[in-house]
């Protein structure tokens, strides 16, 4: 919700690993055309009528949205490193990437604990750097209640309007 102002009004939004659809529903209620992708068909069935829903195992099968671009891509509590370049490419020019997931250090307070599921320091920044994304916000640290280590980025894909006011 904090970075939703980066998404153009009415823009198409992709929610990756959307699960029960908390973000999908919230964005649809604000007038966005939403697409959710998840491997859990039961969770997607509960979202019927919310938007375009795609059941797919995005870790073991081809990307089901090849060639499509969205005004925003939202990812929370999901990490599959081989998919990062595809997710970045799925953001339309001037569109937003809003990404938050668990970070290194989380293994000291709870699950996930496997390195495969924990971002390394600066990893989201590094992912956005090669294509000169405009990083609006980046956070890497500890949150409490529940205790967890997270990394977040809100970034806009070039070309972006230099005079645009990206609210903090």
Q: In the chain, where are the structural domains located? A: 7-156
8 Å CB contact between 71 and 20? no
Cα separations (Å) of 12 from 86, 123, 131, 138? 17, 26, 22, 23
The whole-number average pLDDT for the span 69-80 is: 97
88 or 168: whose pLDDT is higher?
88
The whole-number average pLDDT for the span 135-154 is: 94
Give the pLDDT confidence of 60-71 residue by residue, as tens digits: 999 999 999 999
Give the pLDDT confidence of 29-43 residue by residue, as tens digits: 999 999 999 999 999
For the full predicted model, state whether its pTM sits above 0.85.
Answer: yes
Considering the chain, what is the average pLDDT of its residues? Answer: 94
Q: Which residues, 6+ apart, have CB-to-CB distance to 146 below 8 Å?
A: 110
**Calpha distance 52→69 (Å, rounded):** 14
What is 7-156's CATH number?
A: 3.40.50.150
Q: Does residue 163 have a pLDDT over 80?
A: no
What pLDDT was estimated at residue 34?
98
Confidence tier at 165 by pLDDT (50, 70, 90): confident
Alpha-carbon dihedral 120, 125, 127, 128, rounded to 10 degrees: 170
Instruction: Output Rg (C-alpha) for the chain, integer angstroms.
Output: 15
8 Å CB contact between 84 and 101? no
In the three-class reduction of DSSP (H, G, I as helix; E, B as strand; rest coil), residue 101 is classed as: strand
């Amino acid at each position: 919700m904090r970075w939703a102002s980066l998404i153009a009004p009415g823009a198409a939004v992709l929610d990756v690993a959307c699960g029960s659809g908390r973000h999908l529903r919230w964005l649809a209620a604000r007038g966005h055309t939403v697409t959710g992708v998840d491997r859990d068909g039961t969770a997607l069935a509960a979202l019927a009528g919310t938007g375009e829903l795609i059941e797919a195992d995005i870790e073991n099968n081809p990307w089901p949205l090849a060639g499509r671009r969205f005004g925003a891509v939202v990812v929370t509590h999901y990490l599959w490193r081989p998919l990062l370049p595809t997710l970045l490419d799925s953001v339309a020019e001037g569109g937003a990437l809003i990404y938050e997931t668990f970070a290194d250090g989380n293994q000291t307070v709870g699950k996930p604990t496997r390195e495969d599921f924990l971002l390394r320091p600066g990893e989201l920044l590094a992912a956005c750097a090669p294509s000169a994304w405009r990083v609006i916000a980046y956070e890497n640290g500890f949150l409490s209640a529940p205790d967890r280590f997270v990394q977040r980025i809100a970034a806009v894909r070039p070309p972006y309007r230099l005079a645009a006011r990206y609210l903090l």
